[in-house]
């Protein structure tokens, strides 16, 4: 029997930059946003630094904490992609 492991998926730098920018625009700390999203501050910080690839559930929690729609986050990430 063989164990097949895939390579980890690289985190999206545009998502990281976008959630950081949106949080900063709101004048909030990472701690504030992480608590409202229901995730640890360390986990949120890794997402903002582009060191973690968040799950779908985590992305939804972050959009709720930012009080934006998933569509709005997606559009903002796409705009950020074009600048990177």
Q: Is pLDDT of 66 > 90?
A: yes
What pLDDT, on a 0 to 100 scale, did the predictor assign at position 8?
67
Query: What is the SS3 assignment for 1?
Result: coil
Look at 54 and 10; give whichever has higher pLDDT.
54
> CA angle at residue 58 from 20 to 65, to 5 degrees?
55
Q: How far apart are CA 26 and CA 37, in angstroms?
A: 15
Mean per-residue pLDDT for 68-82? 96
**Percent of all residues in the chain with a pLDDT value above 70, rounded to a whole number:** 90
Q: How far apart are CA 75 and CA 35, in angstroms?
A: 24
What pLDDT, on a 0 to 100 scale, did the predictor assign at position 7?
60
Token pair for 48: 């903002």
> Which pLDDT tens digit goes with each residue over 20-32?
999 999 999 999 9
Domain 13-83 has CATH 1.10.760.10: no
What pLDDT, on a 0 to 100 scale, did the predictor assign at position 4?
61
Task: Specify whether the CB–CB gap between 34 and 40 falls below 8 A.
Answer: yes
pTM: 0.86
């Amino acid at each position: 029997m063989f164990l097949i492991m895939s390579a980890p998926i690289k985190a999206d730098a545009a998502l990281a930059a976008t959630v950081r920018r949106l949080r900063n625009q709101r004048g909030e700390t990472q701690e504030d946003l992480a608590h409202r999203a229901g995730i640890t501050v360390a986990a949120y910080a890794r997402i903002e630094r582009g060191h973690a690839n968040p799950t779908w559930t985590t992305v939804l929690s972050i959009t709720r904490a930012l009080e934006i729609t998933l569509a709005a986050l997606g559009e903002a990430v796409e705009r950020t992609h074009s600048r990177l």
